[in-house]
Amino acid sequence: MFLGEYSHNLDSKGRLTIPAKYREQLEPGMVVTRNPAGGCLLLMPLDEWERVSSRVSALPLTDQRSALLRRALFSAAEDLTQDKQGRILVSQRLRDFAHIEAEVVVAGMNTHIELWTPQLWQEQVLAPLESDELDADIFEALGV
């Protein structure tokens, strides 16, 4: 389970230190890819990636939305392993997609992790929490 919000910096080689709390769960390996639903990266342990990728692969090949989702996820996906210091190398291509330059917000999303640039994290996640966009009605509507 991935919970919590952390702020880390990339080193000069583009490596990101995984929060110590997450390292054991990611030890078998992980996949990082674009998040087509937002301007961040998705980082998933291999078992979660296999579950998600199986569901995406089962979508109809001729459906345009399914094709777009497959292209967004699979064409950018990179399998990673952490080094002895708990670091991963995030490719320049993926960093460019997420506008990540130095500082990274590492956000636990229960089954996976999102990697955000602090500015987009503020705009897309924190700002809506401070406005009327997210209120008790949404929890009621979702049955939570």
Domains of the chain: 5-118 (3.40.1550.20)
Cα angle: 71, vertex 98, 96; to 5 degrees: 90
Q: Is the pTM of this model over 0.85?
A: yes
Direct distance between the N- and C-terminal alpha carbons of the chain, in angstroms, rounded to an integer: 19
- Listed residue (126, 57, 109) closest to 117, CA to CA: 126
Q: Along the 144 residues of the chain, how does pLDDT read in single tens digits?
A: 999 999 999 999 999 999 999 999 999 999 999 998 878 999 999 999 999 999 989 988 888 888 988 888 899 999 999 999 999 999 999 999 999 999 999 999 999 999 999 999 988 888 877 776 666 666 666 666
What CA–CA distance (Å, rounded) separates 66 from 73? 11
